[in-house]
Structure formats: C-alpha cells, structure tokens
Chain A
Amino acid sequence: MTTTASPATSTRPAPMTPKGPRSRSRGQQASRRRLAQATLALPAAVIIVPLLVILAVQGFDLVTHNENLTRPGSGDQWVGFGNFLRAFSDPSLLASIRVTVIYVVAGVGLEMLIGVSIALMLNGRVPGKGVLRALILIPMVLTPVVAGLMWRLLLDPTAGFVNYLLGVIGLGSEHAFLSDTATALPAVILVEIWQNTPFVIIIVLAALESLDPSPREAAQVDGVTGGQMLRYITLPMLAPVLAVVLLLRIIDAVKTFALVTTMTQGGPGTSTMTISNYVYQTGFQTFDIGYSTTLGLIVSAAMLILLFPTAGRLMGLRTRKAKR
C-alpha cells in the first residue's frame, strides 16, 4: 500500500524553502504546526475531558460525603475517609470480591482451556468449517441480558429444558439451580463460559492461521509427535496472542453485570453478588451513592494495580520509563 509513496519522499524537493526570510518566522511556524496537530486531539477531547472532569469533581464530592438519596441533607455530611473505613470493614465487599475472583478464575480459565482446544481442532480439516465458524460467533454477540434470561428459563426447576434432560437420563428433574447457594454461582459461570468461549476461539483460530508454518513443517519432517508439536512449537508460538486474549477476557469478566442481574440478582443471599452488582445495588437500590462511589473507586484502584502494568507490556508499550 505504500510502495508508490515512499520513494517519492527522498527525491522530491521541498517546494517553498527560500532560506533567508523563513528563519525569522520558524518559531511561529512551528507553533502553528503544533496547533494544527492539537486539533487532531480535539474531537476526542470534547467527549473525554468533560467526562473525566465530572468523574473527578463528582467523584471527590461523593467519596468524601455520606450521601444517601433516601436521607435528605445527608449530602452535606462530610466524612473524609469515613467511606473508605466503612469499606475496609464491610463483609459484603469482601464477599463480592470473593465471588468475582471465583467467577473470573473459573470462568476465564475454562474459556481459555476449552477455547484453545476447540481452536486447535478447528484449525485442522473439519467438514463445514465456514458454517461452523459463523455459528460459533452467535453466543458471543448475543445480548448478555438475553443470554441471562434465556439460561434462567433453561435452568428453571419446573419448565427448564436442562431439568427435563436430567430427568430423561435419571438424575432428577427439579433442581432449582439458581435458588440454591451451592449451584447458583457455578450456573452463572457456566453461562459466562457458554457466552465467551467463542471469543477465545475466534482470536486463537485467526492467530493459528496466520502463524508461520515453517517451524511446524520442519518439526514434522523431524518426526515429532502431535503432543510434542503442541507443547514445544505451536503453543510457544501462540503465547503472545494467548496472553492478550487472557488479559482481555479478565478485563471484561471483572465487569460482569448483565448475566448476574438477569439470572439471580446476586442471590440467593449474596452467593452470586459480583462487585459490579454490589456497587450497583448500593448506589441504585439502597441509594447509598456516596458509599457506592467509594466502592467503585476501591475496585478500580485494585484492578489498575493488578492489571495495568501487564496490560501496557502486552500491548507493546513500555510502562517503565520509556527509552527516548
């Protein structure tokens, strides 16, 4: 796409460069150029900057006050770090962090395992591959609210198809999966896996197809087994892509909200209450908006500390001091 343009650069003389009079206004010209460049950032800044200012100003106000919309005047009550102290001794926050960690580790872990396996199989000769790839896409783009409600009905103790199937094979047909504290979280995680494994498959499959085939061909000539090929050649070559996929899945899974809201609303008890659901509930069901914002801030800080350095490195950016 660039072969026509690049040779021209070296040969073409700069048109308007009589030396003398120009040096006077060079500073002026540089600043005009800088200004023109700044306009490139303008459209994005128009949206991003006001929202960040709102976030900072409103956020500070909310975090330092004990505002509850059901108690008029509570917004004037300055509490300093009170909201943070309350958070650090809040068993519900701890419980929601625990639920979220289980959700992310089990959900994303299995998505990676299943997704990579299926991608490796799909990379071979499978009849009807084109159609299969199109079909696999569907769960991923299905509106999460619809996915949650659909599975809620599928898992229903009386009308659910899952219970019907279990009944047919003789495992009992009246499991109330979503109202049992032992099975509610695994059920939500199952839907997370159902919905997001295709994301892993699609990216890993695309990566497999763009891998340089020569190391694998060479290994084949040397007569390595399928397992050795996978362990020592294919997976190491895939590693950078797998790392990015894993990171993107973690970032997304921590934000989960729609599935839990539509399937269990965090219940029974708090057994499926993820962080997002807890913050939402605190802010918009008990209207404890000051505390809710504080919870959001703590969670965000934790996320950034855990993920940001790795994320920067994986996206090809140095997070340590850049060299130049």
Chain B
Amino acid sequence: MKTAKAGTTLRTVVVYLFVIWCIAPILWLVSTSLKSDVDAFSPTPVWVFVPQFQNYVGAWLDGGMGGSMITSALVAIASSALGIVAGLPLAYLSTQIWPAESVASARLTLGILLLTIVPPVLSLTPYYRALFDVGLTGNAVGLTIVHTFYAILLAVLIFRSFLVNFPREVREAALIDGLGEWRTLASTILPNVWGAMFATFVLALIQSWNEFLYALVLTNGSSETVPVTIAGFLSFFGTNWARLTAAGVIGALPIIIFAIVVRKHMARGLSFGGVK
C-alpha cells in the first residue's frame, strides 16, 4: 500500500516536471515578447518589467505579420477544405466501392503512402520552375495547390482508416434505392464521418499553417505566410528579439488555441487509425 502511494507521488512529480519542460520555454517566449528590446537581450533575466505591447504593434504593422496572418489563414483553410472535398470521395471509392482488401484499393492506398513518404525536397525545384513559368509563384496560389496536394494525402489516409470497417451493404442498399454514387456518399457516408472530417481539417490546417519549406520557395513579399515572415525577422544587423518573439506569439497562438480546443479529435487522426 505504501509503495503504491510512493509510486503515485513519484509518477506525479515526473509528469509535472515533464510538463514544465514542455511549457517553460513557451512562457519565456511570451514574457520576452512583452519586454523592451534591451531587457529581452539582457545577460541576466529581467524578472520584473512593464509589459511593452508596442512589440506586438510593431510586429503586426511594420513586420508584416498582419498580412501574413491573412495569407496563411486563406491558404490553410482553402487547402484543408479542398483536401477534404477531394480526399473523401477517393477514400469512399477505395473502401466502399472496391473492397478494402482488393488489389485496386491496396494499390491506391500504397500510392498515397508512397507520396507521403517522399520528402518534399524532391519536388521543390520541379514545382518551383513549373509554377514560376505560369506565374503562380510569388503569390499564394501555387502554395495553396501544393498544400492541397498534401491535404489530400492526409485526408485519404484518415478517411480510409475510418471507413475501412464501415459495412459496404449500406452503400449497396442506397444504390438499390436508386441513389447515384455521389448522392450515396453524401447521404450515407457523410453523416458517419464528421469526426474524421473534423480531425482531417484540424491536422491539415496545422500542417499548412506550419509548413515552411515550400512557403519559403513559392511565396515572397506580400504573399509570405506566417513562418516565412517570422524567419525573416532574423537579421545579420542585430535581431530585434522582442519584436521577433512578439511575431512568434502572434503567429503560433491561433493554432495552439485551436489545437487545444479540438484535441479530442486529434489522436486518432494523427495515427491514421493506428489507435481505434
């Protein structure tokens, strides 16, 4: 009995230490963003200070965070929504029309898996050149297309994991009732996959918002997304850390709050059905 109690105490201590390790850097980031630039780069931490909200104003207006936030939001929402619209029918095709264990279904899913494994650096230059030639770099359109591509991969894998055990008889019944495939999808499958759809949307949104490599190459100036703008605060001529950290807080906060609010939906989506 005593050892069990000691075990619980030890467990609690270790877990709390771990959570502090996760959170302390973030708290420090937020506190730095509220300091004056001198205090922010002081050799000894300044514990007591008057909050300086002008870092936020500076990051938003002069630093261009305002514009990037809008660009990032548009790219993330558009690519996640398109990813779902394109991914769900494909997952329906490969689990309901084709049996999940059929060759066609396995091939399709393996193809999606293959594209997921391939590192993005392979397509970086080819996409850049092709999109540049048709005028889709330097604005958010090319980036949205590429992010949609990755959102589709995510959507197919998540929807597949949810639909793979969904009884195929439901579709057959709907077809006998004279519904077409699209109407069947909308009326019998859709109401059963709201959870998967939400998880897909959340993860695709986070993925797009945080994506840096393609954003760095395909956007510039007024079309920059949040990560590119924040990285641009680094300067060889003395970085203004107070303003940089303020930009970091602005850029990361929406996605953190969003993720915490919807966290219940994330675990299963994250592992593509690895967790039932």
Where the two chains meet, the residues of A that have a C-beta atom closer than 8 Å to any C-beta of B are 1-2, 5-6, 8-9, 12, 14-16, 36-37, 39-44, 46-48, 51, 54-55, 57-59, 62, 114, 118, 121-122, 124-127, 132-146, 149-151, 153-154, 158-159, 161, 164, 194, 198-199, 202-203, 205-207, 210, 226, 240-241, 244-245, 248, 251, 254-255, 257-258, 261-262, 275-276, 279-280, 283-284, 289, 292-293, 295-297, 299-300, 303-304, 307-308, 311-312, 315-319, 322-324
Bound together, the chains give a CA A99 to CA B164 distance in angstroms of 39
Interface of B: prevailing SS = helix
Indicate if the CB atoms of A39 and B181 lie closer than 8 Å.
Answer: yes
Where the two chains meet, the residues of B that have a C-beta atom closer than 8 Å to any C-beta of A are 7-8, 11-12, 14-16, 18-19, 21-23, 25-26, 28-29, 32, 40-45, 82, 85-87, 89-90, 92-93, 97, 101-103, 106, 109-110, 113-127, 129-130, 145-146, 148-149, 152, 156-157, 164, 166-167, 169-170, 172-173, 176-178, 180-182, 185, 188, 192, 206, 209-210, 212-213, 217, 226-227, 230-231, 233-234, 241, 244-245, 248, 251-252, 255-256, 259-260, 263, 266-268, 270-272, 274-276
- Taking CB atoms, residues of chain A closer than 8 Å to B252 are 142-143, 146
Bound together, the chains give a CA A264 to CA B25 distance in angstroms of 19
* Shortest Cβ distance from B259 into A: residue: A141
Bound together, the chains give a CA A132 to CA B206 distance in angstroms of 21
Indicate if the CB atoms of B116 and A258 lie closer than 8 Å.
Answer: no
Bound together, the chains give a CA A38 to CA B45 distance in angstroms of 63
Indicate if the CB atoms of B267 and A5 lie closer than 8 Å.
Answer: no
Knowing A51-B127, A296-B122 touch, does A137 contact B248 (C-beta < 8 A)?
A: no
Indicate if the CB atoms of A146 and B230 lie closer than 8 Å.
Answer: yes
Bound together, the chains give a CA A47 to CA B152 distance in angstroms of 9
Indicate if the CB atoms of B86 and A46 lie closer than 8 Å.
Answer: yes
- Taking CB atoms, residues of chain B closer than 8 Å to A151 are 25
Residue from the list A2, A51, A207, A323 in contact with B123, Cβ < 8 A = A51
Knowing A145-B212, A202-B270 touch, does A132 contact B118 (C-beta < 8 A)?
A: no
Knowing A44-B156, A312-B110 touch, does A144 contact B256 (C-beta < 8 A)?
A: no
Bound together, the chains give a CA A102 to CA B102 distance in angstroms of 39
Indicate if the CB atoms of A275 and B212 lie closer than 8 Å.
Answer: no
Indicate if the CB atoms of B122 and A300 lie closer than 8 Å.
Answer: yes
Bound together, the chains give a CA A36 to CA B173 distance in angstroms of 17
Knowing A149-B248, A244-B271, A276-B213 touch, does A126 contact B12 (C-beta < 8 A)?
A: yes
Knowing A145-B230, A194-B22 touch, does A6 contact B169 (C-beta < 8 A)?
A: yes
Bound together, the chains give a CA A14 to CA B176 distance in angstroms of 6
Knowing A145-B231, A150-B248, A258-B213 touch, does A158 contact B41 (C-beta < 8 A)?
A: yes
Indicate if the CB atoms of A141 and B206 lie closer than 8 Å.
Answer: yes
Most B CB contacts (10 A, CB to CB) among A5, A47, A141, A244 go to: A141
Indicate if the CB atoms of A40 and B181 lie closer than 8 Å.
Answer: yes
* Shortest Cβ distance from A1 into B: residue: B192
Residue from the list B103, B255, B274 in contact with A241, Cβ < 8 A = B274
Question: Can you name 29 A-B pairs with beta carbons within 8 Å?
Answer: A5-B173, A37-B93, A40-B181, A44-B86, A47-B152, A62-B125, A126-B12, A138-B260, A143-B230, A145-B227, A150-B25, A151-B25, A153-B32, A154-B25, A159-B40, A161-B28, A164-B43, A202-B266, A210-B276, A244-B271, A255-B119, A257-B213, A258-B210, A275-B119, A280-B217, A289-B125, A292-B124, A315-B109, A316-B164
* Shortest Cβ distance from A318 into B: residue: B106
